[in-house]
């Protein structure tokens, strides 16, 4: 009897774990794809971003408000909560590569979701934002705005 209860408990725990892993819109680890209704975006690590910046082929947008600095190579500053009214500042090609970031990664995740919802298909988000960027030993630029 104890064995049957143990087996049922293990199966119930496994069911909870596997169902949580399959939920849409949740992140798994840095460097992973985040699936949403209607598309997805890719989380990247600071090391991945550093490598991408060496041969930059994307629009690089700081979405953090208020402005607290930026990563060298940033092309534009568009507040995360003003993405839709400012879509004219983004490429007309919905397949263009766009990388967004903020201070911690939460505002840029919202911006990435907004861009995906508006039809963009090649969106990248710096997971952990500028905090993780600096934690990994990379520098920020402070520009008067």
pLDDT attached to residue 2: 61
- CA Rg, the chain, in Å? 19
On whether the pTM is more than 0.85, the answer is no
Domain membership flag for residue 111? yes
HSE value, Cβ hemisphere, 13 Å, CA-based, for 125: 32
Contact 128, 30 (CB under 8 A): yes
Pairing of strands 59-62, 76-77: parallel
pLDDT score, position 9:
46
**Which of the listed ranges 11-15, 25-29, 35-39 does the model predict with the highest average pLDDT?**
35-39
The answer to the question of residue 7 being in a domain is no
12 domain residue, yes or no: no
Range of the domain at 128: 25-135
The answer for residues whose C-beta is within 8 angstroms of residue 30's C-beta and 6 or more apart is 43, 44, 45, 127, 128
Q: Report pLDDT digits (tens) over 52-100.
A: 999 999 999 999 999 999 999 999 999 999 999 999 999 999 999 999 9
> Does residue 96 sit within a domain?
yes
The answer to whether the CB of 29 falls within 8 A of the CB of 121 is no
Q: Are strands 39-44 and 123-126 parallel, antiparallel or unpaired?
A: parallel
- CATH code: domain of residue 64: 3.40.250.10
Separation CA 40–CA 34 (nearest Å)? 5
Q: Are 64 and 74 in contact (CB under 8 A)?
A: no
Domain assignment present for 46: yes
Contact 55, 125 (CB under 8 A): no
| Number of domains the chain is built from | 1
For residue 10, being part of any structural domain is answered with: no
Is residue 6 included in any domain, yes or no? no
Contacts of residues 5-13 at CB distance under 8 Å and 24 or more positions apart, as own/partner, are: none
């Amino acid at each position: 009897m104890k064995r049957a209860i143990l087996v049922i408990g293990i199966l119930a725990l496994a069911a909870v774990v596997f169902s949580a892993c399959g939920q849409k819109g949740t992140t798994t680890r840095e460097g992973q794809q985040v699936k949403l209704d209607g598309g997805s975006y890719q989380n990247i690590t600071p090391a991945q971003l550093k490598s991408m910046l060496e041969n930059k082929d994307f629009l690089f947008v700081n979405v953090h408000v208020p402005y607290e600095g930026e990563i060298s190579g940033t092309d534009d500053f568009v507040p995360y909560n003003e993405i839709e009214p400012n879509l004219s500042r983004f490429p007309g090609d919905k397949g263009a590569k766009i990388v967004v970031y903020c201070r911690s990664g939460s505002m840029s995740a919202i911006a990435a979701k907004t861009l995906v919802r508006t039809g963009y298909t090649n969106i990248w988000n710096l997971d952990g934002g500028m905090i993780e960027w600096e934690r990994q030993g990379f520098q920020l630029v402070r520009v008067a705005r």
